[in-house]
């Protein structure tokens, strides 16, 4: 018999400041690394602010947030994940005193959410390190970043005490391996960075994250802090033992972060790897003690899975979310070549839960597609049945994982309102339940329209998932 999702399940949606707010230089905001990425991760960062960087204006959420949150409330959101642009609070990142206008803006956003009983879930750092920190300190390669970041975290924890309970420290912290500039504000080009450099930067972020967990609990014991990783499901391309071992190694690149975040110490496999690769992480005496401040929950994004083979040269490669792998012959793909795998979501939920037995939160999932706004009997709408099918199938797998016994706190659909894509910096790759009239060339009225999926998701929330259709 079909059963509903748990009563306290946190249904909602997610956005990131740099992809929706716009107003990049308004009310004292400083520049962020994103202001120098007009092409997303497709090209190395430029030195000047490019004319056609869609993120500079975004969907102008900065001036539309009330209208947008009202639409989220209409869908019945219980939670809304958004990020604070660090450079609105500390324009350069290393100041002592915060920018009051920035603090006030997010306070208004939080109050607007609370008005509708929507719980804010705030990401402290979502690919938007202040540019000054990248330029002056080479981002997270410098240990100084720990001080700046924890000062920022303390400032917002104190200001929003009692109004915000759920926090995430770093968005997709494991993206550091693939895109050090976007992931960790490191200006030095990737090809000039050694493994040593990357692991050192990772260490700084992990220490900062653990210190932030401690701070959050001290400031308000009600606070719950999660880590956030790019959730990657790696399947062996064949059952050859070589491929199985290749998967084991690949998985450890991601487990490295979740193991430290959730267990509070460097996992056993790093010892041998560091020796082999001649990696020596510089640590302060107190670091090991600090790392013991583990996260309250683990959150992750999930869009796709990929295959791994020891020798991948003989297989067709697939595209993917910040990473690539070998194509899986059993799966279909999105218009951007990301392979769609709902069962992978059940698999990864079980995998993390087996490993840590701590609550999990799916904080990103969705389908990037080219939508068409058409005239219907009900007015202008996007008939996005493909998105409904994608989410229906993924949510059914979430329910199966819950039935498997996994503790899943909630689900926030990515880009619940259309926004600028992170990897390609384009507008036409849309994820939302709400269509925003803005085009790749920057034209458009910025008017918002409800898509067909808007009404569908509203029904999912209202019925606690009972309207999901099993094939």
Burial 57-95 (b: 16+ CB within 10 A, else e): bbbbbbebbeebbebbbebbbbbbbbbbbbbbbbbbbbb
Give bridge partners of residue 227 from the DSSP assignment. Answer: 298
Least separation, in Å, of the C-beta of 171 and ligand BG6? 5
Q: Dihedral of the CA atoms 461, 58, 440, 35 (nearest 10)? A: -130
In terms of CB distance, is 112 or 172 closer to ligand BG6?
A: 172
Task: Respond yes or no: is residue 364 known to be catalytic.
Answer: yes
Q: Dihedral of the CA atoms 428, 430, 434, 436 (nearest 10)? A: -20
**Which residue stretch of 62-70, 191-199, 345-353, 414-422 sits at the interface with ligand BG6 (rule: CB under 6 A)?**
414-422
Instruction: Indicate whether 414 belongs to the interface with ligand BG6 (CB under 6 A).
Output: yes
Residue from 68, 364, 384, 418 touching ligand BG6 (CB under 6 A): that is: 364
Task: Respond yes or no: is residue 459 known to be catalytic.
Answer: no
Considering only residues 179 through 238, tell me which ones interact with ligand BG6, judged by CB under 6 A: 230
**Which residue stretch of 25-33, 158-166, 250-258, 418-426 sits at the interface with ligand BG6 (rule: CB under 6 A)?**
418-426
Report helix angle 61-75 to 100-115, nearest 10. 20
Distance, in Å, from the CA atom of 227 to the CA atom of 220, rounded to the nearest integer, reads 18
Instruction: Indicate whether 430 belongs to the interface with ligand BG6 (CB under 6 A).
Output: no
Instruction: Indicate whether 341 belongs to the interface with ligand BG6 (CB under 6 A).
Output: no
In terms of CB distance, is 16 or 210 closer to ligand BG6?
A: 16
Least separation, in Å, of the C-beta of 126 and ligand BG6? 6
- For every residue of 211-265, DSSP letters joined together read HHHHHHHHH-TT-EEEEEEE--EEEESSS-HHHHHHHHHHHHHHHHHHHHHHHSS
Q: What is the bridge-based pairing of β-strands 166-170 and 119-125?
A: parallel
Run of H or E residues at 428: none
Least separation, in Å, of the C-beta of 39 and ligand BG6? 12
Residue from 53, 223, 258, 301 touching ligand BG6 (CB under 6 A): that is: 301
Catalytic residue among 21, 112, 172, 205: 172
**How many of the other CB atoms lie within 10 Å of CB of 5?**
21
Least separation, in Å, of the C-beta of 252 and ligand BG6? 20
Q: What is the bridge-based pairing of β-strands 448-450 and 339-340?
A: unpaired
**Which residue stretch of 132-140, 245-253, 417-425, 442-450 sits at the interface with ligand BG6 (rule: CB under 6 A)?**
417-425
Q: What is the bridge-based pairing of β-strands 332-333 and 339-340?
A: antiparallel
Instruction: Indicate whether 32 belongs to the interface with ligand BG6 (CB under 6 A).
Output: no
Q: Which residues are catalytic?
A: 172, 364
Binding site for ligand BG6 (CB under 6 A): 16, 19, 171-172, 230, 301, 321-322, 364, 368, 414, 421-424, 429
């Amino acid at each position: 018999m079909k059963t509903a999702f748990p009563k306290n399940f946190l249904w909602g949606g997610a956005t990131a400041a740099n992809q929706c707010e716009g107003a990049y230089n308004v009310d004292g905001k400083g520049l962020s690394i994103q202001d120098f990425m007009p092409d997303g991760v497709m090209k190395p960062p430029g030195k000047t602010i490019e004319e056609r960087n869609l993120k500079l204006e975004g969907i102008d959420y900065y001036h539309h947030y009330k209208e947008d949150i009202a639409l989220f409330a209409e869908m019945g959101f219980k939670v809304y994940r958004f990020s604070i642009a660090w450079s609105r609070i500390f324009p350069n990142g290393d100041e002592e005193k915060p920018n009051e206008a920035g603090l006030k803006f997010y306070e208004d956003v939080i109050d607007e959410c609370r008005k509708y009983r929507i719980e804010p879930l705030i990401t402290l750092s979502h690919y938007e390190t202040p540019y000054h920190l990248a330029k002056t300190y080479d981002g997270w390669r410098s240990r100084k970043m720990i001080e700046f970041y924890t000062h920022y975290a303390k400032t917002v924890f104190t200001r929003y005490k009692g109004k915000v309970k759920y926090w995430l420290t770093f968005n997709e912290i494991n993206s550091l391996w693939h895109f050090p500039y976007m992931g960790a504000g490191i200006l030095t080009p990737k090809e000039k960075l050694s493994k040593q450099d990357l692991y050192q930067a990772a260490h700084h972020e992990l220490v900062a994250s653990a210190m932030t967990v401690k701070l959050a609990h001290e400031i308000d014991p009600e606070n719950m802090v999660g880590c956030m990783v790019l959730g990657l499901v790696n399947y062996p391309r064949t059952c050859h033992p070589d491929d199985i071992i290749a998967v084991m190694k690949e998985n450890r690149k991601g487990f490295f972060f979740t193991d430290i975040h959730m267990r509070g110490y460097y996992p056993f496999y790093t010892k041998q790897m560091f020796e082999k690769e001649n990696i020596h992480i510089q640590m302060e005496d107190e670091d090991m003690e600090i790392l013991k401040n583990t996260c309250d929950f683990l959150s992750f994004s999930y869009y796709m899975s990929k295959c791994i083979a020891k020798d991948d040269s003989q297989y067709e490669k697939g595209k993917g979310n910040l990473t690539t792998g070998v194509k899986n012959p059993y799966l279909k793909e999105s218009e951007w070549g990301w392979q769609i795998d709902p069962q992978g979501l059940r698999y990864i939920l079980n995998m993390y839960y087996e490993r840590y037995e701590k609550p999990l939160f799916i904080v990103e999932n969705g389908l990037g597609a080219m939508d068409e706004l058409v005239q219907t009997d009900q007015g202008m709408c996007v008939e996005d049945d493909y998105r409904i099918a994608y989410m229906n199938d993924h949510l059914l797998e979430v329910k199966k994982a819950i039935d498997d016994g996994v503790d899943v706190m909630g689900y926030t659909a990515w880009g619940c309102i259309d926004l600028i894509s992170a990897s390609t910096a384009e507008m036409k790759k849309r994820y939302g339940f709400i269509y925003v009239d803005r085009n790749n060339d920057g034209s458009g009225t910025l008017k918002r329209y409800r898509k067909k999926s808007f009404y569908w998701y509203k029904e999912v929330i209202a019925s606690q998932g009972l309207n999901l259709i099993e094939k």
